Copies of this chain bind each other. A is one copy, B any other.
Amino acid sequence: MSVITIERKVLEKNDAIAQRNRQLFQERNIFVLNLVSSPGSGKTSILEKTCQELRDSMNISVIEGDVQTDLDAQRVAAYGVQVVQIVTMGGCHLEAGLVENAMQQLDLSKTDILFIENVGNLVCPSGYDLGEALKVVVLSTTEGDDKPLKYPAMFLNASVLIINKIDLLPYVNCKLDELKGNALKINPALKVFEISCFTGDGIPQWCDWLKKKGASNL
């Protein structure tokens, strides 16, 4: 029982800091997205494409979360945006306190939109509010169309689903309609984008939506 009590206390503490983060983001008119997915679904590739498309019209900042290495921060920094890397040293998800600390290293007055790339993990990050405006879950076609049913919490807590690697559909055992159907069964309110970072398909639609949503969020 004591473990459960401790866990609840950890979550309560996290939620309090997340609420503080959210208030700060709102005061400063910063649109914040928390990107979650399995390892290798393409979160960093999506950020690269998004930075390329939006950097001339919006001030972008990125917080990268990884168990080890700053490889992702290096990739994103190449696009000339502000980046901070959080290394969790084995930790399986980001917490609001880590984000609060990372923000100290960003110039928030030069930030219109902040992407937080969570640790690659389709389970644990779902329960941790970071103070974001919305969670974006990324699922690649190579992972199979059954994943929303098998990992429902993440799809339930997200507002947006990006289906990535649609260029690989001819080569993998994944039915796009089935995947979307399963995701919408878990969460009928999900806004769905179908993209390929390789061909660029769907990237303009995603970025247009970000611009509009970012403007209406303020």
Contact = CB atoms under 8 A, between A and B. Distances in A.
Contacts of A146: 69, 71
Contacts of A150: 39, 66-69, 71-72, 120
A152 interface: yes
Contacts of A90: 123, 153
B144 A40 contact: yes
Contact of A121 (B66, B123, B147, B149): B123
Contact of A151 (B3, B68, B143): B68
A92 interface: yes
Contacts of A198: 173
A6 B1 CA distance: 11
Contacts of A153: 67, 90
Interface of A: 2-3, 6, 10, 38-40, 66-69, 71-72, 90, 92, 119-124, 140, 142-144, 146-147, 149-153, 165, 167-168, 171-173, 198
Contacts of A144: 40
20 contacts: A38-B122, A39-B143, A39-B147, A40-B143, A67-B123, A67-B150, A69-B149, A71-B149, A72-B150, A90-B153, A92-B92, A120-B122, A121-B121, A121-B122, A121-B123, A121-B124, A142-B142, A167-B171, A168-B172, A171-B171
